Amino acid sequence: MARRKSKSARLCHPVPVTYDPGRHGGVPVLRDEWREPLRAQRDPLADQPGRVRSNRDDHKRWRKQTWIGRFVSTYGWRAYALPLLAVLTAVVLYQTMTGTSVAPAPRDEGPVQGPPTIGAASKAIVGAPPKGLTQFDANLPTGILPQGGPFTEAGARTWHVVPGTTQQVGQGTSKIFTYTVEVEDGVDTTSFGGDEGFARMVDETLANPKSWTHNPQFAFTRVDANSGVQPDFRVSLTSPMTVRQGCGYDIQLEASCYNPAYGDQPRVFINEARWVRGAVPFQGDIGSYRQYVINHEVGHAIGYPRHEQCADNGDLAPVMMQQTFSTSDNDAARFDPGTVTADGKTCRFNPWPYPIA
């Protein structure tokens, strides 16, 4: 029969034990030399045999000996987060006080060409095809005038103000624009509701929340000949031949434009040929086109001089894109190469500055 091993022989590290008969009826007591905790003499993960693992007690004592150590021991991970939070708070406070924190506007929040140049003096025609491109192919398929109803080729080059006024629409924190609605003498408006029908479309478009008054900077008030007020601009339904005289005709496509100094009066020219027939990119939607041409040309009048291009393929076109001719950047780059890059992107037609409003 094998001899039973003693209890001490079964221990990995036998520990000398003494008995103190005076304590709890003879409770075994460790000798003083064995009161220290057990510690491996060699680090099993070390690259070289015999390398001793670092003593963690030394780190604990160091942390207790410095204020940084005490701070880290007390707050743990928060010790690293609190300084970063303090720095971020200081940056936010500085930006708030100095006004340097400006969040970029989302793409669907209106024109991206920057703040409007309200009240800037200018005599340059805005909105017509640029001069100097006489070699441009005027047969651009999307730029031609669609087939449709009759319009007046040439009027009298004088205008009459359509009677009627409106209350202010919009907040107008920067500017309350006054405007008249006018029709060129000799233009027959009976096929689309008469002069009143044209004026109503202008008023309702500018009062729409998706139009320019979505921006609190702008407000509009319509005035007429009896108001005794000189309007900031005149929205004028005009025959194509007079538009060519007021906007230019270097590129032989029917266009509308804003001329800030036509006869010393800022005038938004709305081409009657386009008002009647619309534009190819709008796929026969005459109502949307009429809203677009009002918003686009009034946009020039209130301080947005530049045109824009399609930002992302398939998106709604920016209202300041020349959608009358095309919603394709490749097409637009042919008649406006200084503004538009031919990048292959094509947008969907859109009549509103703020279509998601």
- pLDDT for 172-217, tens place per residue? 999 999 999 999 999 999 999 999 999 999 999 999 999 999 999 9
The overall average pLDDT reported for the chain is: 78
- Predicted confidence (pLDDT) at residue 220 exceeds the cutoff of 70: yes
Cβ atoms of 175 and 217 within 8 Å: the answer is: yes
- Return the amino acid letter for 39: R
Give dist(CA 338, CA 333) in Å, integer.
Answer: 8
Q: CB count, 10 Å around CB of 291?
A: 24
Q: Which two tokens stand for residue 252?
A: 């032989």
The SS3 assignment for 83 reads helix
Query: Is it the case that residue 64 has pLDDT exceeding 70?
Result: no
Question: What's the CA gap between 255 and 244, in Å, rounded?
Answer: 8
The two three-digit tokens of residue 5, written as one number? 């091993």
Cα separations in angstroms, 266 against 127, 132, 231, 310: 13, 24, 9, 29
Cα–Cα dist 177/166, whole Å:
12
Give CA–CA dist 177/168, Å, rounded: 9
Strand partners, 19: 28
User: Does residue 105 or residue 113 have the better pLDDT?
Assistant: 113
Checking if the pLDDT of 89 tops 70, the result is: no
Report percent pLDDT > 70 for the chain: 62
pLDDT in tens, 115-137: 677 766 565 666 565 554 445 55
- How far apart CA 144 and CA 254 sit, in angstroms, is 8
Of the pLDDT bands very low, low, confident and very high (cuts 50, 70, 90), residue 96 is: very low
| pTM, to two decimals | 0.68
Question: DSSP 3-state helix, strand, coil percentages of the chain (rounded to 5)?
Answer: 30, 15, 55
Rounded to an integer, the average pLDDT of 57-65 is 53
Q: How many helices (DSSP H) and strands (DSSP E) are in the chain?
A: 8, 8
Model confidence at 281, in pLDDT bands (50, 70, 90)? Answer: very high
Beta bridge partners of 181: 235
State how far the Cα of 59 lies from the Cα of 217, in Å rounded to an integer. Answer: 63
Please tell me the distance from the alpha carbon of residue 349 to that of residue 327, in angstroms, as a whole number.
Answer: 7
Backbone phi, psi, residue 168, to 5°: -65, 135
Q: In the predicted model, is pLDDT for residue 14 greater than 70? A: no
* Residue 113: HSE in the Cβ half-sphere, 13 Å Cα cutoff: 20
Owner of token pair 């689309």: 192
In this prediction, residue 56 carries a pLDDT of: 55
